[in-house]
Amino acid sequence: MKHFALLAALSLLATPALAADWTVDVPHSHLGFSGVQNGAPFQGNFGTWTAEIAFDAAHPEAGHAKVTIDLASAKTGDVQRDGALPQAEWFDVKAFPHATFEATGFVAKGGDAYEAPGKLTIRGIGKDVVLPFTLAVTGDKAAAKGHLSLVRTGFGVGQGVWATAEWVGLDVGVDVDLVATKSGS
C-alpha cells in the first residue's frame, strides 16, 4: 500500500501543470504599433485581432498564447499612410492577410514582470522574439502590458524605395495592452 501511495504521489508530480484559459476583452484591449515617418513619430493600431491565452502564474512555463492579427485593419489616422499599409510594399495583405505571434510558455522575471518568448510571423517571415510584459491579476481578471521593439525590414515590411530609413524609420514598436477574464469564471 505504501508503494501505491508513493507511485500516486510521484505521478501527480510528473503530471504537467495545466494553465487556465483566459478570454481577452478585445474592445477594452489595445494592440498598437509605432514608428517614425519623415522625422515625425506616429502611432497606429490593429482594429481586428484574436488572442488565445492560457496562463497560470504558479506555472508560467506551461502557458501558451496565439495572437492572430488582421493586417488590413491597421490604422494610423493618416489617410495616405493607411492606404499604403495594405499594399505590396508594406503588409501585402493580398498575399499575407494575417500576422501571428505564438508563445509556447512564459518566463517569470520577478514581481509582476514576465517574458513571452515566441515566434512572430509577418509577410510569411517568422522570427523568434521575446515580448517583455507586466501582469496584474486580481481574482479572475488580468491586465497585461508589454512593448516589443523590432526592425520592420527583418519581416519584409517596406519593399523597394521603402527598404531604407530615408522616409520611414526601420525601428518599429509593438504595444500590447490586454484585459482578460479567466474562462469559466
Confidence of residue 90 (pLDDT cuts 50, 70, 90): very high
The cell for 8 is 500516486
Whether residue 73 has pLDDT greater than 80: yes
N-term to C-term CA, the chain: 39
Confidence of residue 185 (pLDDT cuts 50, 70, 90): low
Residue 18's pLDDT band, with cuts at 50, 70 and 90, is low
Mean pLDDT confidence for 87-96: 98
Q: What is the mean pLDDT of residues 159-176?
A: 96
Could you give all domains of the chain from N- to C-terminal order, each with its CATH number? 18-182 (2.40.128.110)
Distance CA 84, CA 72 (A): 10
Reported pTM: 0.87
CB atoms within 10 A of CB 4: 8
pLDDT of amino acid 19: 72
- Strands (E) in the chain, as ranges, are 20-24, 30-37, 40-46, 49-55, 64-70, 74-75, 98-103, 107-110, 113-122, 125-138, 141-151, 171-182
pLDDT at 183: 86
